[in-house]
A and B are shown apart, each in its own frame.
Chain A
């Protein structure tokens, strides 16, 4: 995750983002569009709640017997001519992939959009090993060309608008038409020409997977552009890096998940391209297939009774699009490849404690919009509260909370505190942590207290 090194904790990073009016406008427009599309396609299903429940059950079943399903997957993939590698953490996964690319005699790989490879910082690790990785998803390409960080799970360049992308292409894309306009078709055509050369030349492709079916050993990638399918079929060697929580028991489970995912993700009934592959087939597609199964903190999350719910995530990003915090701050503020509500519960679990990860469970008002939208019913607010109990708290906070509980435990103490608070509310500027309130907001000026009123009327 080295592209994320040096990010400040969420409140500070958010403050910077909030001041960027272009970013705010881009996010407002983009999230509102996806929200409207999603709401429309979800509303046309009167069994949406049953589908969500079925999705939850499938992922929970897979997680409950994860060991069994993973071994079944390994056996099936091996049987179909693939090779399975197990990676405990990012370093191990990166070493395995770099080794495989080198063994294939390649110095360049084309990539299918993948969160797992972003998570482990594969592109940077490959670069250190002298291997160039080319992102082929249009939005990932925009991020890569801009030497930027992704800010959304599905639309990594959501923070950029068309005009900015045009500028970027003109600056960074070799051989691009200098008169390129910001028409979406023109931009897509420029990217297409740029990528086509790479697809035809590439000998190794790296992908992730949306699902891995234990029963058959099939991997599934869901996408919109067809660039993924090019990578999955043209090169000689295909390496897929897949988080262990992506395994599902049976092909039939896809009947549920492939209805939930596109509706929740892009607001489409069905996505344009769904690719399945199973091991290798002589004369058709890659000659070599490697599946790298990635733990990288997932088994730790699995051991947490509440935190494990995050492993049900199918990376649809619906929770980001409905999140009022994400809509204001964008994805970079979360300091991780996984932004938004899911990032706030996944990053602290996958990455372990650090100042950014510790700030993330608090990057939410607990409004619950994410839980309502999640196609696999992850109770994100509950997980946030649970993780708030586990991360490091700011110095003095526990003492203050204990003191508050001490005050509230005895009515006379509370009476004194009420009086103090009523007096304090008259101050134009509050002291200590309360300062942040009065910077932008007034406080009410209460009249006669309820208790005085109550006592006076009971006594007549």
Chain B
């Protein structure tokens, strides 16, 4: 299958590993990945901060950049939710985007992608993956199939981590208070790695874990699935 990769501006800038991992997993499963190089940003930050008008050209550009692709896959649940939930109303069309775990399980029908990752991992279901995309147990089903991986439950997993896009800056104190509770729960599991399907939330929780020199690191689910 020919699959378009929507990297997202955040991954493009600060998390190159997620995009590489998506490419590696899809190619390992025998699919062809296309990366339209003109892609930039879906406009989520603009839209969610109240700049709807500024968002429209970005949504148009997105539709143009990914035109002609039947399947566009992205390692970001919140950007996929942005396109799926809002583009129709914004620009009259919504390109066929899938979050990575959703694409693997629903479209390709695989849960075992042949990965090996001998570590103790806990999983945080990010809010937009959980409530807007209804990813349910897709990401954890994929993680459970990884050789050597020990998945441990995260207490209060469904509680928001406090990132919230511009919330992290506009309400930095509250954001950090929420992130602290989340990071503390992560540390309580004794996991070496916190996994999620959104690097934005991982940037926030991971930023705290790193500042505390906790020794626990964050990884996108795709990076774990790419490991062999």
Contacts and interface: CB of A to CB of B under 8 A. Distances in A.
A404 interface: yes
A411 B51 CA distance: 21
A294 to B, nearest CB: 29
Nearest to B35: A454
B162 A365 contact: yes
Residue of A401, A422, A447, A453 ringed by the most chain B CB atoms within 10 A: A401
A10 B49 CA distance: 16
Interface in A55-72: none
A405 interface: yes
Interface string B156-177: 0011101111111111111111
Interface string A412-424: 0010011001100
Given A14-B171, A18-B177, A369-B160, A446 B15 contact: yes
B209 to A, nearest CB: 9
A446 B206 CA distance: 13
Contacts of B179: 441
Given A441-B207, A444-B14, A14 B173 contact: yes
A421 B14 contact: yes
A306 B66 CA distance: 31
B50 A389 contact: yes
B128 to A, nearest CB: 8
B11 A409 contact: no
B164 A365 contact: yes
Contact of B159 (A324, A329, A405): A324
The size bracket of the interface on B is 35 or more
Contacts of A411: 37-40
Contacts of A391: 50
A393 B50 contact: yes
Contact of A408 (B16, B41, B165): B41
Contact of A443 (B50, B128, B165, B207): B207
Contacts of A441: 176, 179, 203-204, 207-208, 210-211
A409 B211 contact: no
Contacts of B13: 417-418, 421-422, 446
Contact of A437 (B19, B158, B164, B168): B168
Contacts of B138: none
A450 B51 CA distance: 29
A362 B57 contact: no
A365 B127 CA distance: 9
Contacts of B204: 441
B20 A453 contact: yes
Interface in B43-91: 43, 45-52, 54-55, 57-58, 61
A35 to B, nearest CB: 10
Contacts of A368: 127-128, 130-132
Contact of A422 (B14, B49, B168, B171): B14
A459 interface: no
B145 interface: no
Nearest to A14: B174
A402 interface: yes
A226 interface: no
Contacts of B158: 369
Given A408-B40, A411-B38, A421-B14, A444 B203 contact: yes
Contacts of B131: 367-369, 371-372
A324 B9 contact: no
Nearest to B162: A365
A449 B51 CA distance: 29
B7 interface: yes
B116 to A, nearest CB: 22
B227 to A, nearest CB: 16
B13 to A, nearest CB: 5
A102 interface: no
A417 to B, nearest CB: 8
A200 to B, nearest CB: 46
A25 to B, nearest CB: 13
B12 A451 contact: yes
A79 B211 CA distance: 69
B160 A453 contact: no
A366 interface: yes
A84 interface: no
A134 interface: no
A442 B207 contact: yes
Nearest to A418: B13
B54 A402 contact: yes
Contacts of A11: 170-174
Given A401-B46, A418-B13, A328 B172 contact: no
A150 interface: no
Given A409-B61, A441-B204, A450-B20, A361 B50 contact: yes
Given A446-B14, A451-B37, A366 B164 contact: yes
A251 interface: no
B178 interface: yes
Contacts of A443: 14, 203, 207
A436 interface: yes
A440 interface: yes
A364 B164 contact: yes
A325 B167 CA distance: 11
Contacts of A408: 9, 40-41, 43, 58, 61
Contacts of B11: 450
A437 B162 CA distance: 12
A65 to B, nearest CB: 26
A324 B54 contact: no
A92 B58 CA distance: 48
Nearest to A362: B170
Interface in A361-399: 361-369, 371-372, 385, 387-391, 393, 397-398
14 contacts: A18-B173, A328-B174, A328-B177, A362-B166, A365-B127, A366-B167, A388-B49, A389-B51, A393-B50, A405-B54, A409-B40, A436-B168, A441-B207, A454-B23
Given A367-B127, A436-B172, A444-B206, 13 more contacts: A18-B174, A328-B174, A328-B177, A329-B174, A365-B162, A366-B165, A401-B49, A408-B9, A425-B14, A440-B172, A446-B14, A449-B16, A453-B20
Q: Which 4 A-B pairs have the closest CB atoms?
A: A365-B164, A388-B50, A441-B207, A367-B160
